[in-house]
A and B are shown apart, each in its own frame.
Chain A
Amino acid sequence: MKYLPRNRLLVLVALAAAGCARSSGTAVWIDQEEVASLRKSLGGEAAGKTEVVAAAEPTGFATIKGTFKLVGTAPARVPLSITKDMNICMPGGTPVLGEQLVVAPGGGIKDVLIFCNSKFPAGDPKWEHPDYAAAKAEKVLFDQKSCVFLTHVVAARTGQTVLLKNSDPVGHNANIVAKGKALSSNFNIGGNSASDYLVTGESAEPFDVSCSVHPWMAAKMITRDNPCFDVTKADGSFEIKNVPAGVPLDFKIWQEACNFISVATINGKVIKLPKGKLTFKDKDVLKPNEQRILEVTVDVSVFTK
């Protein structure tokens, strides 16, 4: 060790080792035993079609209606930065405000989405009221005027067609970046014309619709298999008719500014909504022909946190 001190030797060994050390990053770690057992059970199962088996059958239909109101002062709406086609998109030079959270003078919250999250057996008249079957053929209007999507949150059923309309003289497009089983789409819509978007499947949450030409234009779309959903009007009111009664149902409540609403006061009672989920079960199950009124107030902190 006279010529090569021990510490230098250690450095060399360390270097040799470092040469091959590889960073694993987020390389996955797999439990081989679990994988083997999983593989066996996945391959072994010769499962047939998965049927949606409902524990109970609906006994009739009910209506859910009510309003969403805000407690507290709504945050100011932000003016959008409009950079193109000023004479059409910003008529008279008035600033156009963002529509994330629009609150009426009385406190009503616009564009709250409430939808039934339970699976309905397809085409079963006990679940799906005949009125809905007829309404399926109607197109859902999704218009744009002065470079604003007139329906900020649009909801449609699987099988329904959304009429993507353009009431401006300039060209728009509806860039739909779908989630779930809905299909993405992006087609030009010439000035004063329209295009169709066929809803092919449902999405668990709303997704973005935008215009590639006018980047400030934004809307949300949700597609559902079952017909029980509504979006609140400017005064915060909504109404869902013909909801199957007599069965436990899950609803989800969503608003753009806060995503799924996590806590709300419903008919005077503070209720926690895990991931926006509101459940009607046991005593709360809807009765046939009932008019269930939901007076919902949401604290402003839910939106601003």
Chain B
Amino acid sequence: MGRFWSLLFLTVPIVGVGIFVWAMADLPGMKGHWLPENINPQGEIIDSLFMFILYLTGAIFVATSLVLFWFLWKYDASRCAEPVKYMHGSHTLEVVWSILPAATLLFIAIYQMNAWADAKMRRPTLPDGSLRPPLAEVTGRQFEWRIRYAGKDGILGNEDDVSIANDLHVPANEEVVLKIKSQDVLHSFFLPNLRLKQDVVPGMKQHVWFKANRTGVFDIVCAELCGWGHYKMRGRLTVESRDDFNRWLDLQSREQNRAEFTPTTGEAE
């Protein structure tokens, strides 16, 4: 086989890096394969963390691949007549390759602490310092997201709640808190454009929060294999101005409280 294997291994870092660069540049053939548009200020921190870790691991990946290539090239059995040398390990080397990654991991752990706390612990508060109440409750179940809005009074669990499946509307440029829970199995509530993902555990009530700074229509997906219909668990996130949101919620509320019937003059097909 000659140097076939070493050359083959050389292509791995080249093709790997190439694919990433191609996707990041959004060139034809890989359009829309990089991160989706971010509409959450907090998401920028997540993205920068992601990129930092990507560059770090990418550099190590390229370096390791090149070293691997170099060894294969240099010590190819058909060309290298040098006898095999046996050695009994290197203490220094082992210390170095233990401490370096450990230090790196420790650095990342400390570096990201603030981002984690913002995403999972520091729930937005109201001006008076109390916790911001959830705008809606999202219940994952096989296979849909049932969404229950707190309604006009802003309190979940009373008569003016508005229930609707799969259709999440939120006001833009406002802190939004959602209460999420599961009715049956483990799901994961994932808003790709907000860089927000939270496993939904049956029996637990959890909160997620975000601030969307752009209006538009985005995806809600389930990021945890939850059964055969997992792929169907797709919802729609509509970010709109506060006025539009109020109008929409009012409309839904009126439809939900429909309490009159008049016979029509024919079946509307």
Physical contact A–B (CB less than 8 Å): no
B residues sitting closer than 8 Å to A (CB atoms) are none
